[in-house]
Structure 1
Amino acid sequence: MAEGRRGLGRGLSALLGEAEEIPHAAEPANGVREIPIELIHRNPEQPRRHFPDAEIAELESSIRSQGILQPILVRPSPRTPGEFEIVAGERRWRAAQKAGLAIVPALVRALDDDHAFEIAVIENVQREDLNAMEEAQAYASLIRRMAYTQDKAATAVGKSRSHVANTLRLLQLPDAVQDHVLFGRLTAGHARAILAAAFPEVLAQTIVDKGLSVREAESLAKAKSDAPKKGSGPRRAPKDTDTAALEADLEEALGMSVDIADRGGAGEIRIRYATLEQLDELCRKLTRA
């Protein structure tokens, strides 16, 4: 197992590079081979759930003209002897089915469940076109499944800790807003613009209906935040630069939304967590301090 784990954090290309030294054989336990497509099945724990039809159609066209240029990564099926489960490359497998391929090139590796899951997450989050919501869910799953801290998860996927933390914050959004991001109606920039808003669902629908840019979404969220509420007391004064900077520093350190309400030297700090794993990590950090 230690030998296989050296590939983690360097992406699927590193694993494929290592496999080039493995000689081809008719029935290798590990290595590249051609496998009948009906013997390959999707991974039920695949981090990526949304495969746009246009994306698959474009890849299908490429496969029809050029074939599959990079083997998919599979492991022997833990459920059905003689068959295989996809670890990475489901898009290519789906497009190959559309293109009518009978066999596909595949790199076979003997992987346990945890190792296969970790590689699947790494391969997906290193893709530039991965949906931000799926990326956030993948980080949360990796942290939960592997008992990782945000630092360790960031190292495993080759991203900065701040990127992982800021992406995880998207899970604090209501389900309706997450769906807008998942299906491409909103970008991650739009989502971050309304993350701390009082009524993110309403703002999200307005942004979608009017086709607002991220900059316009930020202005709308700020205007709604600054507007005095009917029946409320006097509007809260805007936060000074030091308080805003401290909030940003805490959010960077914790990977969670932080709100500081200071009233002449006394006040409160509110920290919003999106998952029980985030709460556990916060408790660990506070007790260590």
Structure 2
Amino acid sequence: MTAIKNNGTAVAVAEKANEVVTAVVVRTLENGVKKAVNIPSDLIEPSNYNARKTFDADALKELAQSISVHGLIQPITLRRKGEKGEHYEIICGERRFRACRMLKLAEIPAIVREATDEQAYDLSISENLQREDVPPMEAAKAYKRLIDTKRYDVASLALQFGKSEKHVYQTLKLCELIKGIANLVKAGKLTASAGIVISKYDKKIQAEILKDRLGEDGQGEWCSISAGVLDGKIQSCYTNHLENYLFDKTPCLKCPHNSTNFDLFATGSGCGRCADKKCLDAKNTAYLVEQAQAVALADPKLVFIGEQYGYENEATQKVRKGGYEFKNVHTYNLSRYPTAPSVPQSADFAKPEDFAKAQDKYGKEQERYSKQTAHLDELKEQGKIRVYAEIGDKGVKLHYKEVASKDTKSNEQLIADLTAKKKRNTELQAEKTAEGVKELLRTDELPESAFTADEETAMYFFMLSKLRRSHYKAVGLKENDYYGLTEEKKLQIASTLTEEQKTVIRRDYLYSHLTDRTATVADTKGGLLLAFAKQHLPKKTAEIEATHAEDYGKKNARLDERIAGLKKAEKQMKADAKAKKTEQPAKAENTAKTVGKTADKAKKATALTAKVAEQPKVIPTPTAGTVHLVTVPPKGKKAEVATAV
């Protein structure tokens, strides 16, 4: 080995790659001399609190090559672990440890020191943060872990690591990145400066930026631009100038989502930009609703402008739900109310004389504005113009329209119209409620529970409509009360019924349904009707049954007689048909014999005819008493004639 001395440090360099590499660091400290010792590598284990979680494979190979040539210049730092201190945990130097393991070194030079968990934690993170090549995301997490221990703040961290407070604060902001953007910074596809710019915005805006501008793969249009340009683009696309809004912005001046407060060390002027769109919209909506309610309260005749098919902002929807009157009127048919001039501010003018001129101009504009509004207010009181209010995105705008003389209404007429609308609204309320409740009962299952008194009252309320007039007296009514039995009166009766009255009503209700469209006692419903009658009027029901049974029994008896006669006739017809069917074969046999004899006779006649045809033919002559016999000769010969006297 070759010993090299440099600044009080003795370094041993191995000649072979797998030889034990010893580096002895001699340094006088307050607690004495610390020396590096060789620790078996299989007794060393990494810690769980190391800030560095990723190790570049190529960089580890380069470090291992350097160690094989020059030795381990800086030993690792360990502390004992286990009940008997038989193991060692790395405090600092996990990267060097990994490189030595790549060289398969049996022992690794290390400084063993005593340290509590807190001390080991702080040393591990501090050692990593002091490296020049520490990745920004790892540095951010390391700072945050130290802050989370409650033993450090931004100022103490800056002092300990020799960084500015601004640097520590901005690095900590990287911990507020959503996972997708943090991964881009880790992969080097987005610079740490760009990540710090994006970290100022809430998670929702970050997600939109990642999706629309950066891309999950880091190939978006905003990945390659500088942090300064990126900041401007985000403000332009994802924030709003607070100066454009009219609500009280005092709470916004110290809000962390205000662009003037993104960087604790930056300076800015004006209201700034808001990066919390949800909060901004909520404050603006509340302001618009308040303004609309104030305008409506000041003018009872005012009507809001609605959009039947177009977009309505949230404030308009809330005001509409508040019950205020809306009409679908197009603003191009209306005239705009004059707008109050803005009061000049001295801070906006460089010279006093310019400010004085602005004040003079403002005074004239204010006077003209007052005259115009006073004139319009007068016309409004006379009913010559109708005022409309439009709820915009930044404020409430007033419009007006001239009213024709025939359309002009007095206050009394307007009150009458509004009263009628109020009455109709009450009716609509009841109608819509009924519609909603019916739909609810149609679609939802009713819970299982005991039948309540209110349900029973409702049941008898409907049953009373089937009560027969002859039973009105039973429930305290007269028969001529039929046309005066209102629903209110039925409800009153239904809620005070006795058990006897309930029985009467139930039976009449049952009677009504049993008799309604019941045409026969042969079906199920008719059977229920018959059973009901037998139960309550058994004797008379039996008489009815007997009467109709006797009547239709006789008719059925006559029908049975006719049926029996027809059956007998049918039986005789079948017997006759069978006899005829038996006679048919004998006749057929006789007919066949006759046909055979006839055929034989025909054959004999045919044969006789043939013989006659073969004999000579006799041809008579005109001579009296003379017979000429002519013999037909064969073909080719002459005929022979014989004469007989």
Per-residue CA distance 1:111-152 (angstroms, 9 max, x = gap): 111011111111111111111011010011001124322112
Sequence identity (%): 28
Tell me if 1:77 matches 2:81.
yes
Residue 213 in structure 1 maps to residue 213 in structure 2: no
Contact 1:72 1:92 in 2 (8 A): yes
**What's the CA shift string for 1:20-40, capped at 9, x where partnerless?**
238xxxxxx964101111111
Q: Is the 8 A contact 2:241 2:274 kept in 1?
A: no
Cα 1:79/1:127, change in 2 over 3 Å: farther
Query: 1:171 Cα deviation (Å)?
Result: 1.2
Select 1:176's aligned residue among 159, 180, 204.
180
Distance 1:238 1:226 in 2: 14
Greater RCO (Cα-Cα under 8 Å, separation 6 or more): 1
User: Kindly tell me: are residues 201 and 78 of structure 1, through their superposed partners in 2, closer, same or farther at Cα, counting changes over 3 Å?
Assistant: farther
Are the equivalent residues in 2 in contact too, given 1:75–1:111 (CA < 8 A)?
A: yes
The alignment's TM-score, normalised by the length of structure 2, stands at 0.32
Q: Secondary structure at the match of 1:74?
A: strand
- Identify the residue that residue 251 of structure 1 maps to in structure 2: 263
Change (3 A) 1:17 1:200: farther
RMSD between aligned residues: 3.8
Mapping of residues 1-289 of structure 1, within 5 Å = 20-21=27-28, 31-78=35-82, 81-196=85-200, 198=205, 199-202=208-211, 203-205=213-215, 208-209=218-219, 212-215=223-226, 218-220=228-230, 222-227=232-237, 236=241, 251-252=263-264, 262=271
Letter in 1 for 2:219: D
Secondary structure of the corresponding residue to residue 215 of structure 2:
helix
Structure 2 Cα separation of the partners of residues 108 and 172 of structure 1: 37
Gaps spanning 5+ residues in structure 2: where? 1-22, 245-252, 277-645
What SS does the corresponding residue of 1:119 show, helix, strand or coil?
helix
Letter in 2 for 1:90: E
What secondary structure does 1:128 align onto?
coil
Residues 31, 214 of structure 1: CA spacing in aligned structure 2 closer, same or farther, 3 A cutoff? farther
Distance in 2 of aligned mates of 1:210 and 1:269: 22
Amino acid at match of 1:219: V
Judged with a 3 Å threshold, the aligned counterparts in structure 2 of structure 1 residues 177 and 261 are, in CA distance, closer, same or farther, namely farther
* Structure 1 contact 247–258 (Cα < 8 Å) conserved: no
Matched-pair contact (CA < 8 Å) for 2:214–2:220? no
Equivalences, count? 233
Equivalent residues of 1:76, 1:85 under 8 A apart: yes
Shift of 1:53: 1.3
Q: Shift of the alpha carbon at 1:247?
A: 5.5
Are residues 269 and 220 of structure 1, via their aligned partners in 2, closer, same or farther at CA, if it must alter by over 3 Å?
closer
Normalising by structure 1, we get a TM-score of 0.67
The amino acid that maps onto 1:251 is: D
Structure 1: stretches of 5+ with no match in the other structure: 1-15, 23-28, 230-234, 271-289
For 1:213, give the aligned amino acid.
Answer: S
Q: What is the CA–CA distance in structure 2 between the aligned matches of 1:71 and 1:213, rounded to whole Å?
A: 40
Deviation at 1:47, TM superposition (A): 1.2
Shift of 1:178: 1.1
In structure 1, C-alpha distance between the alignment counterparts of 2:124 and 2:77, rounded to whole Å: 9
Task: Check whether the contact 1:247–1:260 (CA below 8 A) recurs between aligned residues.
Answer: no
2:148 alignment partner, SS class: helix
Q: Do the aligned residues in 2 keep the contact of 1:258 with 1:269 (CA within 8 Å)?
A: no
- With over 3 angstroms needed to count, the CA separation of the structure-2 counterparts of 1:109 and 1:33, relative to structure 1, is same
CA distance 1:188–1:136, change in 2 (3 Å): same
Matched-pair contact (CA < 8 Å) for 2:47–2:89: yes
- Do the aligned partners of residues 149 and 186 (structure 1) sit closer, same or farther apart at CA in structure 2, a change above 3 Å counting? same
Q: AA paired with 2:161? A: V
Give the AA of the match of 1:102: A
Question: Does structure 2 retain, via aligned residues, the 8 Å contact 1:250–1:258?
Answer: no
The verdict on how the C-alpha distance between 1:49 and 1:269 changes in structure 2, with shifts beyond 3 A counting, is closer
